[in-house]
Amino acid sequence: GAVVSQHPSRVICKSGTSVKIECRSLDFQATTMFWYRQFPKQSLMLMATSNEGSKATYEQGVEKDKFLINHASLTLSTLTVTSAHPEDSSFYICSARAPKGGSRTDTQYFGPGTRLTVL
Amino acid sequence: QQQVKQSPQSLIVQKGGISIINCAYENTAFDYFPWYQQFPGKGPALLIAIRPDVSEKKEGRFTISFNKSAKQFSLHIMDSQPGDSATYFCAATFPRSGNTPLVFGKGTRLSVIA
């Protein structure tokens, strides 16, 4: 299957600092990437849809100024948690959709996740 | 409004038994139904997926059964093994209509005991 990487896998930061999480599709180009947040023992909650070369679409209740998303290229999307607070501590997961027309059309591949802990 | 309802919330199965997880959806526009497996501290991994033009799809020990009229689909894990112990999520989307995200069920925590 396709590979999506995330970096870092784990980060601990102080309250008030900003944290950047990278999501890369390693063996395919992804025009669309998605960012999710997952709390312990819960399902994935979609935060935003990231489209290469355009502004991200945020889900209702997600602060766009708090969670900055940049889809700079067809293989890289970044999520920056600005002025992080303890309530932002969570497991952040990205996914990338395989391009249309190939054998993996419509399939969404997930990264390994980033565990953010804000002290 | 939860568009994909998943049950049971947790499941305990004996080794060698059959694990069955069910999902029901509401939006008839959905045309792609994947199942994901997630281990603690890891991202979800695609297990198997189905489109509504078929009623069943099998890959190894994993089978999806799809009932379009009932708007239900289920995952069957045959010969369940302790290594299958994980959280399973069903999902639905209509990707052909654009860059639409997955709608996830709430997950099922499967424990396979020896």
Q: Read off the pLDDT of each residue in B76-90 and give the average, rounded to a whole number.
A: 98
Task: Tell me which chain A residues have a C-beta less than 8 angstroms from the C-beta of B5.
Answer: none
Quote the pLDDT of residue B94. 81
- List CB contacts (< 8 A) between B105 and chain A: 43
Minimal C-alpha gap between A90 and chain B (Å): 11
- Residue A103 above 70 pLDDT? no
Rounded CA separation A37/A53 (Å): 23
Cα B52 to Cα B73: distance, rounded to the nearest angstrom? 10
Which residues of chain B make contact with A107, given a CB cutoff of 8 A? Answer: 34, 46, 49
- Residue A1: per-residue pLDDT: 61
Percent over 70 (pLDDT), chain A = 92
Cβ-defined contact of A41 to B95 (cutoff 8 Å): no
pLDDT mean over A101-117: 82
Inter-residue contact B4 to B91 (CB < 8 Å): yes
pLDDT over 80 (residue B8): yes
pLDDT at A100: 66
What is the predicted pLDDT for the residue at A112? 96
Q: Is A117 on the interface with B (CB under 8 A)?
A: no
* Tens of pLDDT, residues B30-80: 989 999 999 999 999 999 999 999 999 999 999 999 999 999 999 999 999
Alpha carbon A25 to its chain centroid, in Å, reads 12
Distance CA A35, CA A102 (A): 23
Q: How far is CA A23 from CA A98, B17, B56, in A?
A: 14, 38, 34
Residue B39: closest C-alpha in chain A: A112
Q: What is the pLDDT of residues A41-83, one digit of tens each?
A: 899 999 999 888 888 999 999 999 999 999 888 899 999 999 9
Report in angstroms the alpha-carbon separations of B9 from A16, A64, B64, B95, B96: 37, 32, 18, 27, 30
What percent of chain B shows pLDDT beyond 90? 83
CA atoms within 13 A on the CB side of B108: 27
Are the CB atoms for B109 and B99 separated by under 8 Å?
Answer: no
Highest mean pLDDT among A89-103, B69-83, B89-103: B69-83
CA distances from A47 to A37, A50, A58, B58, B113 (A): 7, 10, 6, 32, 35
Strands B56-59 and A114-118: unpaired
| Chain B environment of A44 (Cβ under 8 Å) | 44, 89, 104
Predicted confidence at residue B57, as pLDDT, reads 96
- Asked if residue A98 lies in contact with residue A109, where contact means CB atoms within 8 angstroms, the answer is yes
List Cα–Cα distances, A49 to A19, A28, B2, B69, in angstroms: 19, 18, 19, 31
